[in-house]
Amino acid sequence: MKLIEQQQKRHSVASDNTSSPGNRPHLPTDSRQARQIARRRLIADYVNSRQSARIDEISKRFGISLMTVHRDIDTLVEDGLVSKSRGVITSRTSAAGLAEPADTAANDDGDYQAIAAAAADLIQPGQTVFLAGSPILRHAARYLASKVPLTIVTNSLDLMNDFRELPDISLIGLGGTFKSWSGCFHGPQTIREINDIDADAAIVSADAIFEEKTFYETEEDLAVRNAMQEKAKRIILVASHGMFDKKAFYGGNDLRDYDAVVVNSAVPPLLVDRMLSRKIDVRLA
């Protein structure tokens, strides 16, 4: 096996383990932006679980200033996740909830395997394939092993380890800044390295899908997926039923932008019919 990996000395490894006083929610420490994203997510979850909450209540709950609460809430309002009126924040996610981390709302191992197998069927031997970090794609190695020879390009440390021992796989590990909260490399270096590669296909996922559009929890994940999609001839989206009718913080692509959308059989038939009516190439796993 030909293994091409970036030297680990060039990577800046961050940790997201932290503690906070009392019962305050734990937030990552690897960057200010990561803390803001995590805090806003927790605020949205808090409001959603109670249907409404007051500004001063949120301030006390999260140990942040009233000004910070207002900034966070304004962002959540812009994202359509909550509404604000006279100091009261009201949930707007009763029908379309906030995405669960790593799709924990639908983390059935059998579904993930079926989706990964169906996505692998769309790959041909000899191709170069981008794989973005995703719980679903942790099952990709066993199915892509039958498609060798292949060149696999990924920013996910887990996927690098999954593929590194497979025969007839050329593995390109993308460098950058390692983020412990995602298990992936991100940042300008990652994007530059993606831009140097022309791939036959990119297999990517999303954190949430709402009204036939993908959403992501972080700008870093969105940037990597956009770069991979720009440099691939064919784009394959993998999605489980738990991702649908939810929103996250950053909007991605319309589902019509993907060459194939691979979903599991638990996706409601009405959603499948709606996607098919919009000429979206849906593949049921």
Segment 166-178, tens digit of pLDDT = 999 999 999 999 8
Q: Where residue 12 falls among pLDDT bands split at 50, 70, 90?
A: very low
Topology of the domain covering 32-91: Arc Repressor Mutant, subunit A (1.10.10)
Q: What is the pLDDT of residue 29?
A: 54
The alpha carbon dihedral of 142, 182, 200, 129 has a sign of negative
* DSSP letter (8 states) at residue 221: H
Higher pLDDT, 125 or 28: 125
pLDDT band at 19 (very low <50, low <70, confident <90, very high): very low
Question: According to the model, what pLDDT value does residue 262 have?
Answer: 98
More confident of the two residues 41 and 68? 68
| Backbone region of residue 279 per phi and psi (left: phi > 0; alpha: psi in -120 to 50; beta: other values) | left
The 3-state DSSP class for residue 143 equals helix
Q: How confident is the model at residue 232 (pLDDT cuts 50, 70, 90)?
A: very high
How high is the pLDDT of residue 28? Answer: 53
To the nearest 10 degrees (0 to 180), the angle between helices 32-50 and 66-78 is 80
Q: Which of 80, 84, 106, 83 is nearest to 210 (CA)?
A: 80
Point out the least confidently predicted range of 45-49, 99-103, 110-114.
Answer: 99-103
Strands lying side by side in the sheet with 177-179: 12-13, 177-179, 184-186
Q: Whole-number mean pLDDT of the chain?
A: 84
Spell out the domain ranges in the chain.
3-10+101-284, 32-91
Which range is least confidently modeled, 84-98, 159-173, 249-263?
84-98
**189 pLDDT above the threshold of 90:** yes
Least confident of 56-65, 80-89, 110-119: 80-89
How far apart CA 196 and CA 279 sit, in angstroms, is: 32
For residue 126, pLDDT over 90 is answered with yes
Tell me the backbone φ, ψ of residue 26, rounded to 5 degrees.
-80, 135
CA 51 vs CA 59, 74, 124, 229: distances in Å: 17, 17, 48, 37
Higher-confidence residue: 10 or 283?
283
With contact defined as beta carbons under 8 Å apart, do 115 and 262 qualify? yes
In one letter, which amino acid is 279? Answer: K
Closest CA to 23 of 55, 52, 62: 62
Please give the pLDDT value at position 25.
60
**Fold designation for 3-10+101-284:** Rossmann fold (3.40.50)
Looking up tokens 């490894």 gives: 13
pLDDT-derived band at 18 (thresholds 50, 70, 90) equals very low
Q: Can you read off the two tokens belonging to residue 97?
A: 């909830």
Q: Residue 162: pLDDT band by 50, 70, 90 thresholds?
A: very high
What percent of the chain clears pLDDT 70, i.e. is strictly above it? 83
